[in-house]
Amino acid sequence: LKDKYDVIIIGAGGAGMTAALEAKANGMNPVIFEKMPVAGGNTLKASSGMNASQTKFQKEQGIDDSNDSFYDETLKGGKGTNDTEMLRFFVDNSADAIDWLDSIGITLNNLTITGGMSEKRTHRPEDGSAVGQFLVNGLLKNVQEQGIPLFVNAKVTKINETDGKVNGVTIIFNETDEKNITSDAVVVTTGGFGSNMELITEVRPDLEGYVTTNQEGSTGDGIKMIEALGGTTVDMDQIQIHPTVQQEKSYLIGEAVRGEGAILISKEGKRFTNELNTRDKVTAAINALPEKSATLVFDSGVRSRVKAIEQYDKMGFVISADTIEALAEKLEVPADNLKATMDTWNSSVSKKEDAEFGRTTGMDNDLSGAPYYAIKIAPGIHYTMGGVKINTNTEVLNKNGEPITGLFAAGEVTGGLHGQNRIGGNSVAEIIIFGRQAGIKSAEFIKVAK
């Protein structure tokens, strides 16, 4: 541990490690401080993949996508409230971010789709496994290879400044040793506040009692530290409820399960919504059922296309049966209804038309391959769309919209990009695109200042 670094990065999730790699590549000497005993943050739990448009992998696979439709669909998903400058920067730099990851050995070339998107633009690891673990392993390997120091059990409690210029942080190591470390710039990548029920119920009293999929370190520390320096926030009450969470273990069941073909049924054994509508709409449909919960049903094809299901099975979430009737019995839903639901769905898939709920995606394959599977789910707190306000240079802004000198932020700690509803696959894209930008822009700032 040194007394001074060029750039201090707070939080070793996807955004922090990406920022560190770019700061280093741009000639800086960065350090990462992580409060938990391990790196990874919520990024480790990311499942769907990384959205990007006009990528080389899409082209190779004959998918004719455009940045404009990625922009339009994200804006529609966010109910038109997204920060449009941030969004434009995001879509226009998405393909480049996929190439950058590929260039450092993190290849996301398996494509799927998430709710609210019209094209296959969710990039996953080749074997279809969850993106989070793969990404964190890859980033950590690069951080190590680049010799970037990463300290765990290192909780940053304060960002320090003199005369309005940020110049370091205060850290508590192993819950005991307090130290001040100085730097020319600070990058805040502390993630969201999905595990801070006090803060959540302060901004959204209606969310009392919900389970959360977030790791315990997602407590909004960065937001509080930045507010103390005069930084401003946006959309703090915009909290994403994910529709498909296994309740007993608060474990997220990834959207790829639906993207690859699964349907949702009620306790009547009937579909009740377009399963690939945006997360807010699917959540509302589940909450409108008397039981406020539902069951994902899929076949052996979905199971083989979504590697994460192996993990769900290991955790004991997956119910299986050789026939639909036997599955219905295990689920305690009327067998006739479930049989009729499956037959209707399979014929909708073959006609490519869902007359009941207007689903148009995740219909490449029907659900006719025995054995059959089910996972019981209900909504849970998943993501905090709001956070500190930054510009496209990732500079943290004060209440007058002016940058706070030397202070940068990226990832879930920031707000604005997603508006009122985040599209699945857009958070991983955000942490890579803006994490890179924070590394590059903090390095540029330091060079200019010197």
Residues of this chain that interact with ligand ADP (CB under 6 A) are 10-16, 33-36, 41-43, 155-156, 189-191, 217-218, 221, 411-413, 431
Could you tell me if 241 and 174 are in contact, meaning their C-beta atoms sit under 8 angstroms apart?
no
Closer Cβ to ligand ADP, 195 or 273, answer by number:
195
Give least dist CB 31 to ligand ADP, A: 12
In this structure, what are the phi and psi dihedrals at residue 435, rounded to the nearest 5 degrees?
Answer: -65, -45
Give least dist CB 397 to ligand ADP, A: 18
Closer Cβ to ligand ADP, 32 or 377, answer by number:
32
Closer Cβ to ligand ADP, 158 or 339, answer by number:
158
* Per-residue 3-state assignment (H helix, E strand, C coil) for the chain: CCCEEEEEEECCCHHHHHHHHHHHHCCCCEEEECCCCCCCHHHHHCCCCEECCCCHHHHHCCCCCCHHHHHHHHHHHCCCCCCHHHHHHHHHCHHHHHHHHHHCCCCCCEEECCCCCCCCCEEECCCCCCHHHHHHHHHHHHHHHCCCCEECCEEEEEEEEECCEEEEEEEEECCCEEEEEEEEEEEECCCCCCCCHHHHHHHCHHHCCCCECCCCCCCCHHHHHHHHCCECEECCCCEEEEEEEECCCCEECCCHHHHCCCEEECCCCCCCCCCCCCHHHHHHHHHCCCCCCEEEEEEHHHHHHCCHHHHHHHCCCEEEECCHHHHHHHHCCCHHHHHHHHHHHHHHHHHCCCCCCCCCCCCCCCCCCCCEEEEEEEEEEEEECCEECECCCCEEEECCCCEEEEEEECCCCECCCCCCCCCCCHHHHHHHHHHHHHHHHHHHHHHHHC
Closer Cβ to ligand ADP, 354 or 412, answer by number:
412
And the tokens for 289?
């059922």
Among residues 278, 247, 248, 273, the alpha carbon closest in space to that of 262 is found at: 273
Closer Cβ to ligand ADP, 94 or 190, answer by number:
190
Closer Cβ to ligand ADP, 87 or 297, answer by number:
87
Give least dist CB 228 to ligand ADP, A: 12
Give least dist CB 47 to ligand ADP, A: 13
Give least dist CB 217 to ligand ADP, A: 3
Q: What type of residue sits at position 302? A: V
Question: For this structure, is 88 an active site residue?
Answer: no
Give least dist CB 34 to ligand ADP, A: 5
Instruction: Indicate the residue whose CB is closest to ligand ADP.
Output: 13
Please tell me the distance from the alpha carbon of residue 316 to that of residue 331, in angstroms, as a whole number. 15
Q: Which of 124, 271, 279, 436 is catalytic?
A: 279
Give least dist CB 233 to ligand ADP, A: 15
Closer Cβ to ligand ADP, 349 or 431, answer by number:
431
Closer Cβ to ligand ADP, 54 or 233, answer by number:
233
Give least dist CB 133 to ligand ADP, A: 12
Positions marked catalytic: 279
